[in-house]
């Protein structure tokens, strides 16, 4: 089944992995709603790049950590388009600290943006998908199951995201909505530069059996597959895109 003419919302798609996903979906004829939080120029550039692929683009500002802003975003989508086919829950933020320094503010900030946003966006998206079915795909990281330095809150938020993916997949199945997550190892984006700076990530190309780091496009390719009808029977899963890093941890330990 062709995805031509469908409508996708990609949260946090002004740059990085979200942008790569927006462009991949656009290349398949899908119209894209680009959500951003702080950097409008990036979002507008993504919109121009999306339009250059021959589909329509809409830019909406919303902090997905704020329930009111999520409601405003979906009200806008409802008013302008009246429907939605695909939700990509990509936007994320986080505070990198050792356990001893985690406070309630840092915990809530990270959990609200990374985990609660999926719940609230999925609730609203499901209403716009009523009678037509849909796809919901989130982006997680290996930190949901492996311990990374100073990554506690983000790792826990991603674990919650993956658990919520399973519950949504079952509860939304009667509405013909497929829900899955893609979990990546380190991907070269602005976020990773931050983690390098904070000493949270090291050059992982040597730890990747595939021989290079994961690129945003590698993640986007799997997201696009999960949005296709070929992936109809994949439900509630977290698909790992890491070039073999996680299964090769012990084999690579001596490198």
Give the interface segment with ligand NAP, choosing from 11-19, 73-81, 96-104, 243-251 (CB under 6 A).
11-19
Two tokens, residue 82: 């009246």
CA dihedral 195, 196, 199, 202 (to 10 degrees): 110
Measured from the Cβ of residue 193, the count of other Cβ atoms closer than 10 Å reads: 11
Contact predicate 80/57, CB 8 Å: no
Tell me if 236 contacts ligand NAP by CB under 6 A: no
Q: 31 vs 42, which CB is nearer to ligand NAP?
A: 42
Under rule CB under 6 A, which residues in 185-204 are in contact with ligand NAP? 186-187, 189-192
In angstroms, what CA-CA distances link 200 with 132, 141, 194, 197, 206?
42, 13, 8, 8, 16
Closer to ligand NAP by CB, 111 or 169: give it: 111
Which part of the chain contacts ligand NAP (CB under 6 A), choosing from 23-31, 57-65, 72-80, 118-126? 57-65
Q: Among all residues, which ones are annotated catalytic?
A: 151, 158
Chain residues 104-163 in contact with ligand NAP, contact rule CB under 6 A: 113, 139, 141
**CA-atom Rg of the chain in angstroms:** 17
CA distance linking residue 121 with residue 108, whole number of Å:
17
12 versus 236: smaller Cβ distance to ligand NAP: 12
Q: Report helix, strand or coil for 232.
A: coil
If one asks whether residue 96 binds ligand NAP (CB under 6 A), the answer comes out as: no
Q: Quick count: other Cβ atoms within 10 Å of Cβ 211?
A: 9
Residue 221 near residue 215, CB atoms below 8 Å: no
- Is 39 among the residues that bind ligand NAP (CB under 6 A)? yes
Q: Please pick, from the candidates 14, 96, 134, 243, the single residue that binds ligand NAP as defined by CB under 6 A.
A: 14
Contact window for ligand NAP (CB under 6 A) among 73-81, 170-178, 180-188, 225-233 = 180-188
45, HSE (Cβ side, Cα atoms, 13 Å): 11
CB of 90 to ligand NAP, least distance (A): 5
Q: Which stretch binds ligand NAP (CB under 6 A): 32-40, 162-170, 229-237, 247-255?
A: 32-40
Which residue of 22, 59, 92, 223 would you call a contact of ligand NAP, by CB under 6 A? 92
């Amino acid at each position: 089944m062709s995805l031509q003419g469908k409508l996708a919302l990609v949260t946090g798609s002004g740059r990085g992995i979200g942008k790569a996903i927006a462009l991949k979906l656009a290349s398949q004829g899908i119209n894209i709603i680009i959500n951003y939080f702080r950097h409008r120029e990036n979002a507008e550039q993504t919109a121009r790049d999306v339009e250059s692929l021959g589909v329509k683009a809409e830019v909406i500002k919303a902090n997905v950590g704020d329930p009111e802003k999520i409601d405003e975003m979906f009200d806008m989508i409802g008013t302008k388009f009246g429907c939605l086919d695909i939700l990509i829950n990509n936007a994320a933020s986080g505070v990198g600290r050792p356990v001893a320094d985690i406070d309630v503010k840092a915990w809530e900030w990270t959990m609200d943006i990374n985990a609660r946003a999926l719940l609230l966006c999925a609730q609203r998206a499901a209403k716009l998908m009523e009678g037509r079915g849909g796809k919901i795909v989130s982006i997680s990281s290996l930190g949901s199951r492996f311990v990374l330095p100073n990554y506690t809150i983000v790792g826990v938020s991603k674990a919650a995201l993956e658990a919520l993916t399973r519950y949504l997949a079952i509860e939304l199945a009667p509405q013909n909505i497929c829900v899955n997550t893609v979990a990546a190892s380190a991907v070269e984006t602005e976020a990773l530069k931050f983690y390098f700076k904070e000493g949270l990530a090291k050059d992982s190309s040597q730890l990747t059996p595939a021989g290079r780091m994961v690129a945003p496009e590698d993640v986007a390719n799997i997201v696009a597959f999960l949005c296709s009808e070929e992936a109809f029977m994949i439900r509630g899963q977290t698909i790992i895109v890491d070039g073999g890093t996680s299964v090769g941890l012990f084999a690579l330990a001596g490198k």
